[in-house]
Amino acid sequence: MAAPFALSLQDLAPIAEGTSTAEAMQETILLAQEADRLGYTRLWYAEHHGMPSIASSVPEILIGSAAAHTKNIRVGSGGVMLLNHAPLRIAEAYRTLEGLFPGRIDLGLGRAPGGDGYAMRALRSGGGEEFSAYLAELMAFDEDSFPPEHAYSRVPVSPGGIRLPPMWLLGSSGASASAAGQLGIGYAFAAHFSHTPPAPAFEAYRYAFMATEAFPKPKTMMCVSVVCAPTDEEAKYLSHSQAVQWALFMTGEQRRLLSPEEAHKVVLTPQQQSVIDHQGTLWIVGSPETVRDTILEKAASSEVDEVMVTTTIHSYALRRRSYGLLAEAFGVKPRH
């Protein structure tokens, strides 16, 4: 069956125990090429800092690498944590990417720091209350709309003659939904880690939406966490790597992604088991049929235009297989 929505993926560039960081980085290229071949609509990279299990800290470098090794799939950030950066720097970086790969780049923006308090201080990250100002500044740089008396009106954004790629605002609680609508940009909801129902946020976004050149109509996306395998039993077994990683992360015991065999040997504290019990209700784990039916139900309740899937499996080959099984289950047409 064909999916009633576009299907995309997010790559967190996980670093599996027993592999090198260089191998994890090379895997981003292999996955991008496989996603392009399978027919996925877009591929996004997140920005995370200070996490030994994740190699995605500078999305624009991974975006450039993936775009250079693929032909059709859109590639972007999901997202740039804007408070960690001067808006001019982001305008320059993503205009450059748009110039190199015209029509294939997305700029997803988030307000979270992408790391703990120590990483925030090292990055000189701004406070959450400053996000709206940062976003307004980024858009003013792109549109050359600073008033004449503003100091930044004298700053030409380089490279010139290029506009920023389509922008998306990422949310996990609905707080930014109306803002995304008023700005006329896309809105993506992080249902892979947020327990807040996404439907009200999408409704608020659509109600507030003002059409723009990049987005003539509202565009909604829901991100979900998926582990897919030929059988429900195998998928559940493979998902234990993600479960233990999440439990360790939430209790301050970060390490590289364990194999399911090693993850099953970890003796969890009651607090860590509670983390898994709570967060595990958001993960979609099972056979292609099980995963497809669950995603269809979630998407229908929110009337989303696009579903973005993120998958955490210790084996890189089995992670690529998971994306392949999912694309096949939804009847996504491969590219040749």
pLDDT value at 211 more than 80: yes
Q: What domains lie within the chain, and their CATH numbers?
A: 6-225+302-315 (3.20.20.30)
Alpha-carbon distance 229 to 288, whole Å? 7
pLDDT value at 123 more than 70: no
Q: What's phi and psi for 79, nearest 5 deg?
A: -140, 180
CA 149 to centroid of chain Cα atoms: 38
Q: Identify which of 205, 204, 109 has the alpha carbon closest to the alpha carbon of residue 166.
A: 109
Per-residue model confidence (pLDDT) at position 118: 64
Per-residue model confidence (pLDDT) at position 115: 60
4's tokens = 């009633």
pLDDT value at 155 more than 70: yes
Per-residue model confidence (pLDDT) at position 201: 96
Alpha-carbon distance values, 290 to 179, 285, 301, 321 (Å):
35, 8, 17, 16
Return the number of other C-beta atoms located less than 10 Å from residue 193's C-beta.
14
pLDDT value at 112 more than 70: yes
pLDDT tens per residue, range 25-43: 999 999 999 999 999 999 9
Mean pLDDT in residue range 297-322: 97
Three-class SS of residue 168? strand
Per-residue model confidence (pLDDT) at position 253: 87
Cβ contact 13:313 at 8 Å: no
Residues in contact with 53: Cβ distance below 8 Å, sequence separation at least 6, in sequence order: 14, 15, 245, 249, 254, 255, 256, 257
pLDDT tens per residue, range 62-83: 999 999 999 999 999 999 999 9
More confident residue, 94 or 130: 94
Peptide bond into 230 cis (omega under 30): no
Alpha-carbon distance 38 to 319, whole Å? 14
Q: How confident is the model at residue 173 (pLDDT cuts 50, 70, 90)?
A: confident
pLDDT value at 285 more than 80: yes
- Percentage above 70 pLDDT, the chain: 95
